[in-house]
Every structure is written in structure tokens, then in C-alpha cells.
Amino acid sequence: MKNKKFKSIATVVTLSASLILSGGIASAKNAETEWKLSPEAKINWKDSSSTTPSFITGSNIALGKIKSEKDVQKFFKDNEETFGIKPSTELLFVSEETDDLGMTHYTYQPAIQKTPIDQSNIVVHVDAEKNLVAVNGEFHPNAPKKVKQSKKLAKQNAIDKAWKHIGVDRGKADKKYKDKLGKEKSHLTEKDNLVVVEHDGEYTLAYHVQLQFVDPYPANWQIWINAETGDVVQSENRVHEATGTGYGVLGDTKSLNTYFYNNTYYLFDTTKPMNGVIQTFDYYGSTGTYNLPGSYMTDTGNTFYSERQKAGVDAHYYAGEVFDYFYNTFGRVSYDNNGADITSTVHYGSNYNNAAWVGNQMIYGDGDGSTFTYLSGADDIVAHELTHAVTSTEANLVYSNQSGALNESFSDVFAYFFDSEDWLIGEDVYTPGRSGDALRSMSDPTRYGQPAHMNNYNNTTADNGGVHINSGIPNKAAYNTINSIGKSRSEQIYYRALTLYLTPNSNFSDARQALIQSARDLYGTSVANSVASAWSNVGVY
């Protein structure tokens, strides 16, 4: 409910809005006031030196109602000084989405000369009564009006330079295979977009080239090529690696969805409500040669009981279980919410001590028997990695520093939601010869060398700025949240924040605000205050 002071302001504005809508005459001054920030708007700054907000919240942060995307444009225009952007030339409209609460979310991308600034989004959130309740994202108020470069490089040349930069032969990475439905597919994904990339305060016109493959090594390369000179501006391999819990490889019996073809059963599941399939491969196939994504894991009797089949059984089964979790809990259809194939390859490499989402499929190592055992035998390894896939489709959190730590933390959190047996990560597959050991603890991150409070934040250049280290802080905040309001409400809040409020460069403070706003949307002020306290208790304000 609005306070009396705000009511008096709103009364005047509502009158002027009514005159406009009914065809009456209103002054230009009143029309402009319609879209100004209201007195109750609460502003969260990116950092202490920032002059531009990263998150604004309130029950109605614009004095007028937002009924269309055109009204959002007016809101930005009337608040140019606050946001530091001109909506007509520096914002590109991306999408309008209405959720099951009746809230509408308008997504924009900041731009220079109509070219999008990469890895940046701005989202405007409007409730069912058309009140503007939140605005968040990356505004780039200090971006130049034009970039220094001109587009002289053809996009194919940019792609070629990207391949040259990483030293991989494209032809060898682009191996074809046919699935059991007869479709020829490749495990190589190759994309390019003309963007403006910000790096160390410099804005450069560049091609964003994405190269995803699993041979000769797991890769999800993100490479930015200067569109004028062809120089590499920035590059990183965003393969996400993690471990989880579960021991299906110990011989526990699982019911499998298989596919029968030519007197042979395949780990190939067509039963899920999706366009694609869930399919599982063996990296080292029966032909005796390495062939990625590998050979289908098969059995003539539909009884996958051998030692070598166990890794495939678990990868296949848990992929289906994770699909069911996201589908039944959130209505999400596969990691991309569009029914994409979920492909897994087991027995990857030799003594490979990792599991990885490489941008288009899962890779599972067998471990070296000392540091790890079969990594596909852990159900929340699968949940963790497929959450990385969801994150890349939705918030696309940049994999470095605080946004990267959030990327890792959200995967840990959803791994817990999927399998809430305990608060440990990796205890069953990590150091199999030693009991009571784990990689991480969400309840006590310090137990395994992670900080649990911002006072102990690790400023490091290693591990992409400490993404696997500093994730302990948001993990502890998640633990606090779940203990305070329960698992079922927490998972809805976290999913809403991930899919609607977080943007590529969100930091810990932005995540706190995104989760508070999501809690307020779903459950009201009391629950939102509990979420706020959970984060305040780890030093994030």
C-alpha cells in the first residue's frame, strides 16, 4: 500500500493521465512527469563509484502505468539523466514476455550505433496491474557515441581467424554421425555475431565467434575478433566443470528408456515431452577407435549390466531425471526450453578427472580412481552441468569474477534442489578411497577452503577470478535462504531470478536484489525480507 505522500503525488499524475487517455488537453510538463521515477524507487548501485543504477525496485517505481513497450521507451526517455542512455539510439528491444503471475518483462540490449553491446542486458519488470516494479541490467553510461573501428573484415574471415587463434583444425573438429532416426548431425556448433565488446573500459566493434566441440578436447570457445583489424580482442574457453553426488555405478538397479533397432537396444530415449531425444554415447566405441561423440551404448538383451555399461546407464538415467525435474518443477522443456537433444558421452579421455558441459553436450570422465571415480555416477554432477546449460540460455552469466562465481553457485544450488540429501558437493565421487571427504559444503564453505562471507572474498586472477572459490559466499546465502523459507519456495525464487532478473554481468549485490525481487513477486514482503537477511548475513548488501 502506498504512503500518504506518494498518494498525493499519484493523484495529480493520475488526473493528467486520465485527460490524455480521454482525448483531453494536458500540458507537456504533466505528460513528461507521467514517466518519471517515483519517490519510492529504491536504487542499488553497481559499486561505490558508480553514477548509474544496476537495480531499481519498488511497488511502483514510475508514476504512470506501463501498458506497452512504447511506454517503457517513454520511461527511459524521461529518465535519461538517471540511466545515462538515449533509448531511441542506445537501446535495442529484444523481447516481451508475460509470466504465469501476469508480470511482463521487457528485455533490451544497450547499443552503440544500433550495434548491440555484447554480454549486456537491461530488463524492465511490470506487474499485472501495469506498475513498473523493477529495472536492472548493464547500462554502460560511459560508452562512446560511436566506435573507432569500421567493419572491414568479412564474417567468414573472422571465423577463420578464430580457428587459427585456438590452433584447432576445423575439419577434424567437425565429425558427423547419424542418430538412430537417420538424421546426420555434428557435434560442432559454430556461430558469429557483429557486436560491440567492452574490455578494460574500451569499446570495440567485433565479431563474437562461438566454437563448441568435443574433439580434440572439450571446448566452448568465446572469441571476439576486431571487425576492422582482425586482431583477437578477447577469448576464453567456457567449458564448465564440476562434481556432484550419487553412486549408480555401484550396481543399483535403474529402469531405463531405451530404443530397439535391428535387434539391438540403444540408450536413446524418445519418451520425454520434447522435440529432441536423450542419447548416450561411449567415447571409446566397440570398433576400437576414438570417435566423438562416440558410439551409442547398446545391449542385445536390454540388460545393461556390464562394468563398462554402468557409466552410460547413470549418465542416461540421470539426464532423464534432470529433464523431469526442470519440466515438472518449472515447466521447462530441456535446457534451452525448446526441447533440445540432451547428449552425453561417457568414458571420455584417459583418467579424465572431470565432467563438463561443452556448449552442446555433456562429457564424463572415469576419473583416475584416486581423485575421482566414474563422474557420470553422480546425479548432481548431471544436475550441476545441465544447470550451466540453462544458465547459458537464460542469464548467460559471464564466466569470470563475481558473475562467474554466481554461475557456479546457481549450478550447485540447483544440484541441491535436485538431490537434497545433504549439503555436500562431490562427497561420493571425490577421493573414493576416503570417507567423509567432499569438494564443497554449502552449509559450511570454509570446511573446504571457500569463503563464507565477503570479509574473506578471494581477489585472485586464478580460476577465472576465483569462480570455484568465491562461489562459497552465494552458496552460504542459498543455505541461509533455504533454511529460512524452505526448499520449495526457495527453488521457485532462484529459478525466477535466473530466468527473469539476472543479466550477464550481475554481481553478488545484483543477485541478492534479483532474488529479493523474485521473492516479493511470488510470496510477498515477509519472504523477501528473509531472502535479504540471508544475503546480509554473508556480507552482501
> What amino acid positions are annotated as catalytic residues?
385, 468
User: Can you tell me the distance from the alpha carbon of 176 to that of 100, in angstroms, rounded to the nearest whole number?
Assistant: 41
Q: Please confirm whether the linkage preceding 293 is cis (ω < 30° from 0).
A: yes
Q: How many residues does the chain have?
A: 541
Which residues make Cβ contacts (< 8 Å) with residue 171, sequence separation at least 6? none
The distance between the two most distant Cα atoms of the chain, rounded to a whole number of Å, is 82
Which residues make Cβ contacts (< 8 Å) with residue 537, sequence separation at least 6? 477, 480
User: Can you tell me the distance from the alpha carbon of 128 to that of 244, in angstroms, rounded to the nearest whole number?
Assistant: 39
User: Can you tell me the distance from the alpha carbon of 205 to that of 153, in angstroms, rounded to the nearest whole number?
Assistant: 11
Contact (CB, 8 A) for 387 and 414: yes
User: Can you tell me the distance from the alpha carbon of 123 to that of 135, in angstroms, rounded to the nearest whole number?
Assistant: 6
- 3-state SS of 24-40? CCCCHHHHHHCCCECCC
3-class secondary structure, 60: coil
Strands 122-126 and 104-112: antiparallel
What cell does 530 get?
Answer: 528473509
Cα–Cα nearest to 196, from 156, 165, 159, 150: 150
User: Can you tell me the distance from the alpha carbon of 280 to that of 42, in angstroms, rounded to the nearest whole number?
Assistant: 49
User: Can you tell me the distance from the alpha carbon of 213 to that of 234, in angstroms, rounded to the nearest whole number?
Assistant: 19
Q: 453-456, long-range: CB within 8 Å, 24+ apart, which pairs?
A: 453/538, 453/539, 454/508, 454/538, 454/539, 454/540, 455/539
In which residue are the cell numbers 550477464 written?
504
Contact (CB, 8 A) for 281 and 344: yes
User: Can you tell me the distance from the alpha carbon of 177 to that of 35, in angstroms, rounded to the nearest whole number?
Assistant: 56
Which residues make Cβ contacts (< 8 Å) with residue 424, sequence separation at least 6? 245, 438, 440, 441, 442
